[in-house]
Chain A
Amino acid sequence: MEPKVAVLSGFGINCEIETMAVFEMAGALVERVHVNRLVRGEASLSDYQIMAIPGGFSFGDHLGSGRLLGNRLRFGLREQVREFVSSGKPVIGICNGFQVLVKMGLLPGDDEVSLTQTASLALNDSGRYENRWVTLEFDPDSPCIWTTGLERIRVPVRHGEGKFVTDNAKLMDSWADSGQLVARYVDPNTTYPSSGDDTLPYPISPNQSWRNVAGVCDPSGLVFGLMPHPEANHSTWLGPSWTREDTAHGEGEGMGIFHNAVRHVLQD
């Protein structure tokens, strides 16, 4: 049976249409679920096998991107979310959804799912929002179930606050050791694998994220979040410079991530 995906909506989330579309393209059943329906008990996360928090501008990014929606989830859905994650179900947060997961403490997270914030996404060094295409490289040794077998993809970033940082430098090392720094910006003119810790120049790294981190997973590899938008590259004709390339048209480079999650649930 197809896995059921809850795509959260409301309060300024605005990428739910394409986030629903990519899971459907990957063969899942998808429902848009307003956060308040979960809070009020009209819907329950336990009825779903995958949860996605799409991109957007929840609460207008006021008081920090993802902060207020993160608080709604942290205070209003605490036990539902912990149960979902502890029961081994995949979660993805994209862009604003990633910011929400980081600020509510689910990412990079800990084995206890304690929901303690340990990292953040600061303003880009440029000080401004930008929409531009980047190349991501994935850590082949990561436990992340979303990126299994993927090497590089091209995806757009569309954010003003995407610089991954922490105030505890030791944590960066431990996250790196455990394969949690799973997605990094990379120079497309290098050969795979080549991601490194030295900050790449702007705009290869669009935000000057520490160690070029674009996305991280939790210790279990089930919860994954990233700033760029893989769902925006679901078809070849949405690619960054497809009119210059002689490729057969079809699925875009971003789809592998969603196939992985659906496959994971089906194999489980």
Chain B
Amino acid sequence: MPTETNIRLFEVTTKDLDGLPDARGESVRSMLKVDHGIDVLSVRVILGYQVRSDVSDIEAESLIYDLFADPVIEVGSMSSRMLESFSNPPEAAIQIGFKPGVTDNSGQAGLDGLLTLFPNQSSAIVATSTTYAFWGVEAGISPNDLASILHNPLIERAAVAGREDCSKGSWPLLEFPEMPPVTFQEPATVDLEVSDEELITISEQGLLALNIAEMRAIQAHYRDPTVRSAREAMSLPSDRPTDAELECLAQTWSEHCSHKIFAARIRHTDKVTGEDSTIDSLFKTHIMQPTLDIQGDVDWLLSIFHDNSGVISWNDDWSVCIKAETHNSPSALDPYGGAITGIVGVNRDILGTGLGARPIANTDVFCFGPPDYSGTIPPGLFHPSRVFRGVHSGVRSGGNESGIPTVNGAIVFDERYIGKPLVFCGTVGIMPRLLADGRESHVKTPQPGDIVYMVGGRVGSDGIHGATFSSLELTEESPSSAVQIGDPITQKKMIDMILEARDAGLIQVITDNGAGGLSSSVGEMAELTGGAILDLGAVPLKQAGLSSWEILVSESQERMTVGIRPEDCADFESLAALHEVEATAVGSFTDSGAFVVRHGETPVANLPINFLFDGCPQLILESEWQPPVHLPVETPDLDDSEMGATLGRLLARPNVASKEWWVRSYDHEVIAQSVIKPFVGVNRDAPGDAAVIAPLQGGIQGLVVSNGIAPRYSDIDAYAMAAASVDEALRNAVCVGVDLDLISGLDNFCWPDPIESAKTPDGKYKLAQLVRANRALDDVCRAYRLPCISGKDSMKNDSMLGGEKISVPPTLLFSLLGNHHDVRKAVSSDFKKPGDAIFLIGQTHQELGASELSYMLRDDGAGGIGGTVPEIDPERNMTAYRALTAAMSRELVASAHDCSDGGLAVALAECCFGSDSGAKLDITPIWSDCDHLDTWGALFGESLGRILVSTSPDDRKAFEKSMEGITCHYIGDVSSDDGISFSRHGDVILSASMRELRESWKGTLHGEGA
């Protein structure tokens, strides 16, 4: 019997049972208090599901408890409002739901569940919403204030009812999120025979992010008579590009995809040394060349720079790969969606490496504004605490739901990240060296004639212009279509399916659909065979009516593009069907020399491969180095207990404080491989250094994953910043006992726009910072024999809002992936036993410039951050690192922890947190490193290359012998009491109670309030 299509609202809330709180409501109450200082007595949360279907009333009734509500712990309703059921009407009620077209993962899951019960309802739609009911809201806070905290108007809608409405039972109700119909636009052409001004207008209005030289290069292409005749033969307009061609070129040539600044020819001048030189591509000169030189000496660099991630040989049977991406602009607009999309996106880079690698570990590094920032926030930006919470939540979903452990990370705070947060998402992958059919899995093997499949999600209007958008600064006009919400479960199903296809030998070539969508993925792979033909009419869409160019460039998530031999297509499709993954043939590879796009019978684009990939003109830029001037650090005169209090304040600084509350909600142990975990020690609350994982179940060979980041050193010199980042990553890896003969790195640059212009008058300085950072990377990586195997850059991290420009500090994240010979010998950072001897490895110099201490004292109102920024001596460091890791392999080292933010004093406190112990130190010996060291420099300076180590009394002699010739000062012992003290020549210079230090350290970043 046919039934009518109608919309029903199902609602679910927690049942009233003793001992069963509404934990969702309680979380909202606590978030309002901690992040916004708003007191509310109680909050209840109601989950809503609007279902448009043609199920009968009886069938619908069964959905309440068979699908939506848990019959034991929840109550459900259909078509009557749950808000009615509270004995006291709420003072405010707010319903939040997505805007039409925004990815609704719960809704999608609800539909899947509906189809399990009623398989004939495939045209049904489920849309979710959340209703919040409030009681006891503090005076002065309106329902609209609460609504603005609870939803992001870019992607969500809110319906609000105040006290009066609630008392009348006039409840908030969102309409069903109806997608407005999209009208298909016939492919258009763009006339480029116009003035330069008009060319720029075309670029700006189309969000193409192409400069005049690039627009002219495109103009010239369409004037080429051979191009024109080829186009005529294809029935394409001969003398002008189609909109799809122009979009495709803009994506491929975007800063995001083609790294134009790193490829630029730079005239570099140095006001200090008088240098005046030319650099032909920073990337080729300072990143690629050192790696190529190292590649000449080792046999384990399998695939570098050209694939979606860099691949190294780990042992005879397995290779491993690593990649990090940033997802900054989307995370500024929608922190949750931006972060989740960043994670699942970089996971796809791993899946798209070689013939497909399995993602096995994530690392996440974030840079935010201070969570306690009390200044004004420019309109259009979120408060840092909200960005933090949203990004954190996105990582939790993206990582946990994908079954990929988040093994390591960092969070850095600085006011300049208010304009654009930096969200670095990194992933490590593993793949068998050889497939069953004998192919090496890191080599793609496409042939002309292979069929192009699009696998995973469908294409929608979400995510159009992501690549070009991220190549522009953030403004009020930034498009909401650039924001997406990742769907980890669709992707997980796809990963399962792709890896089975790989092992069955079905995959010839694979890449992910990220920036630029199909135009980039098919275009890039077409470069391998020399051509491809793509039929946009075959591409499955989320919504009918998308225009050709939109389908071509949309960055809708969870999609891979895969090449399959024609004879394997049936097997591939049946594997996809088993996993309930959509896989559609959308074209084929050719050797025609061109990337050809049709939409059904209509020709849409014909782009010669060499023009698409090599036609973008090189940028010509200028840089000029003039060191900045800062007020020097001013240190007060304090006694030992006041110095102890200073240490307590440093430990409470967000950059140093414990992040445990946040990090605990990342799964760091799925896949059962976590040897050195993010938290170590007797109470498992002390920070670990690098992560160590043993990815082969039961195996003792390990991988070490670490990160280094020191953006504030850029305030003095970006050379020091980059050197410190590399050293920190390696130092952390050394602390767990990495195999120094198999270490590889990733460089991830996030810079403010370094191209001089009216908007960026200091472009030459910012570019000089980039030059100096690259030179440091080159110098230090060569000295450490640490090749960069992949990397990424994001070069427009500025925001212009309300007339105010905020640029991020030049930031390099250096990530390291190394080998560990035997994880049973891995070392953790916590002190082990009272009586163990404590050593400081490495030299301490008077280096307080741009230290965490200097920022704290400056924030107190005294002095500046000027002074000597930590300088690197990579040869000296490497000698010490080799000696230390050798001692670790002989099991002579009880603990090792690196000295970074806050220096020796902070490192000591952290080692003590891990053992519930104290320590008594006499640091007189370290003055032998530097004759002008002062107490502040000794305790809080951040000199590089230093590691705080402990050994048991039994191993002490052998340890000291193994460190002969290395700066390795014995400075004291672990004690069983609650106190730490530092003395020099018998005078106590710092003393503190560990209990108090622990409270400071744990109190700052506690997400529920300590």
Contacts and interface: CB of A to CB of B under 8 A. Distances in A.
Interface of A: 9-12, 14-15, 17-18, 21, 25, 34, 36-37, 55-57, 59-64, 67-68, 71-72, 75-76, 103, 117-120, 122-133, 156, 158, 163, 165-167, 199, 208, 210, 229, 231-238, 240-241, 243-244, 249
15 contacts: A12-B403, A12-B489, A12-B493, A14-B403, A34-B578, A57-B400, A57-B489, A59-B489, A60-B106, A64-B74, A76-B116, A117-B70, A235-B694, A241-B681, A243-B680
Contacts of A229: 669, 672
**6 nearest CB pairs, A to B:** A14-B403, A62-B109, A21-B697, A18-B672, A127-B27, A123-B23
Contacts of A60: 105-106, 109, 397, 401, 487-489
B27 A238 contact: no
Given A60-B401, A165-B72, A10 B23 contact: no
Interface string B64-84: 001110111110000000000
A127 B17 CA distance: 17
Contact of B106 (A34, A62, A122, A166): A62
Nearest to B358: A17
B803 interface: no
Nearest to A231: B672
B698 interface: yes
Contact of A167 (B15, B68, B671): B15
Contacts of A12: 401, 403, 488-489, 492-493
Given A72-B116, A127-B23, 5 more contacts: A11-B489, A12-B493, A25-B697, A63-B67, A63-B109
Interface string B226-250: 0000000000000000000000000
Nearest to A65: B70
B669 A158 contact: yes
A167 B113 contact: no
A64 B700 CA distance: 37
Interface in B379-415: 396-397, 400-403
Contact of B698 (A72, A122, A235): A235
A126 B23 CA distance: 7
Interface of B: 14-15, 17, 19-21, 23-24, 26-27, 30, 66-68, 70-74, 105-106, 108-110, 112-113, 116-117, 396-397, 400-403, 487-489, 492-493, 496, 578-580, 664-676, 680-682, 684, 694, 697-698, 700, 823-824, 826-828, 830, 832, 1008
Contact of B26 (A64, A75, A127): A127
B580 A117 contact: no
Which of B72, B106, B108 has the most chain A CB within a 10 Å cutoff? B72
B110 A63 contact: yes
A121 to B, nearest CB: 9
B113 A67 contact: yes
A158 B404 CA distance: 13
A234 B669 CA distance: 12
Contact of B496 (A9, A63, A231, A241): A9
Nearest to B823: A237
A156 B665 contact: no
A17 B496 CA distance: 12
Contacts of A199: 19
Nearest to A236: B824
Nearest to A207: B23
A236 B17 CA distance: 41
B830 A244 contact: yes
Contact of A57 (B401, B675, B676): B401
A132 B682 CA distance: 13
Nearest to B21: A125
A234 B697 CA distance: 9
A259 to B, nearest CB: 14
Contacts of A57: 400-403, 488-489, 492
Contacts of B664: 130-132
Which of A60, A120, A232 has the most chain B CB within a 10 Å cutoff? A60
Contacts of B26: 125, 127
Contacts of A163: 20
Given A57-B401, A127-B27, A68 B113 contact: yes
A71 B117 contact: yes
A236 B826 CA distance: 13
Contact of B680 (A25, A59, A231, A241): A241
Nearest to B685: A132
A122 B682 contact: no
A241 B578 CA distance: 41
Nearest to B109: A62
B688 to A, nearest CB: 10
Contact of A165 (B17, B66, B827): B17
A148 to B, nearest CB: 23
Contacts of B824: 236-237, 249
A14 B402 contact: yes
A126 B1008 CA distance: 9
A71 B117 CA distance: 8
